[in-house]
């Protein structure tokens, strides 16, 4: 969906990563948020979108006409409440991400992003598969690709991570990574800017994400070790 387009349907992301972006009048493109499974792609009816949505990875979206979606929510008040919670949570994630990155230097922003990804549940314990391209990740963290690569090397030289492959980050020392991110010694505190993913997602009986349960599930792990996945 391009910026400025109107949309008469609502999408629920079934799999993959979707980029929420904006294009400035000067032609600069800014990646604002990465949306994941269970999150929404939608704009107000008959209104042009202020943003664009593009796939960051191979993705599937379940689309429903706007009228059918509204009828579905009207007939099922419990789903309407969950829809509102999900929408507000999605907005809050973007706001918290901006707040958490504010005042941090480039090295701290990269380290913080890695901490967040770990707290959201790594696919492999003590390692991350980075699905975003370097260009997209650099845009998300508000830096150049060169600065991103330099920061990753600094984290590796500092003993926090290892970089065996371009799309794989292994955590050598989680405590060091937290410290280089500017987190407190007890953990990442109230840093919950990015959405949970994979098996770390928690849903209520109605099938929607429970934001409070997600936040509880992402409390910091013990010092020196990355968080473990729940079985």
Residue 198's CATH number: 1.10.10.10
The 3-state DSSP class for residue 100 equals helix
How many domains is the chain partitioned into structurally? 2
Q: Is pLDDT above 70 for 150?
A: yes
Q: How confident is the model at residue 218 (pLDDT cuts 50, 70, 90)?
A: very low
In a domain, 223, yes or no: no
Give the global pTM.
0.74
Q: What is the average pLDDT across 94-101?
A: 89
CA distance 226 to 160: 11
**Both tokens assigned to 16:** 């993959």
Q: Are residues 31 and 121 in the same domain?
A: no
Q: Is pLDDT above 70 for 215?
A: no
CB atoms within 10 A of CB 65: 11
Q: How confident is the model at residue 22 (pLDDT cuts 50, 70, 90)?
A: confident
Domain boundary among 37, 60, 75: 75
Q: What is the average pLDDT across 130-156?
A: 96
Q: How confident is the model at residue 43 (pLDDT cuts 50, 70, 90)?
A: low
What strands lie across the sheet with 40-41, from one edge to the other?
A: 40-41, 9-15, 60-65
Q: Are residues 179 and 119 in the same domain?
A: yes
Q: Is pLDDT above 60 for 67?
A: yes
Q: What is the average pLDDT across 140-154?
A: 97
Q: Are residues 123 and 211 in the same domain?
A: yes
Domain range enclosing 177:
100-217
Q: How confident is the model at residue 137 (pLDDT cuts 50, 70, 90)?
A: very high
Q: Is pLDDT above 90 for 142?
A: yes
Q: Are residues 135 and 171 in the same domain?
A: yes
Exposure on the CB side of residue 168, measured as CA atoms within 13 A:
8
């Amino acid at each position: 969906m391009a910026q400025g387009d109107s949309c008469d349907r609502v999408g629920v992301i079934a799999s993959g990563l979707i980029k929420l972006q904006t294009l400035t009048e000067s032609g600069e493109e800014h990646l604002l948020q990465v949306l994941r499974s269970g999150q929404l792609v939608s704009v107000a009816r008959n209104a042009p979108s202020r943003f664009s949505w593009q796939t960051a990875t191979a993705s599937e979206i379940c689309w429903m006409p706007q009228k059918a979606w509204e009828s579905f929510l009207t007939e099922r008040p419990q789903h309407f409440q969950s829809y509102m919670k999900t929408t507000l949570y999605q907005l809050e994630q973007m706001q918290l991400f901006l707040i958490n990155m504010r005042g941090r230097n480039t090295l701290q922003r990269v380290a913080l992003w890695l901490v967040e990804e770990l707290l959201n549940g790594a696919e492999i314990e003590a390692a991350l598969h980075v699905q975003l391209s370097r260009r997209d990740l650099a845009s998300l963290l508000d830096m150049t690709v060169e600065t991103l690569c330099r920061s990753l090397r600094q984290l590796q030289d500092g003993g926090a991570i290892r970089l065996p492959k371009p799309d794989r980050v292994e955590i050598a020392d989680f405590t060091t990574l937290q410290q280089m991110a500017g987190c407190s010694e007890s953990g990442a505190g109230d840093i919950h800017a990015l959405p949970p993913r994979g098996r770390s997602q928690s849903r209520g009986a109605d099938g929607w994400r429970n934001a409070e349960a997600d936040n509880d599930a992402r409390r910091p792990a013990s010092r020196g070790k990355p968080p473990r996945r729940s079985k």
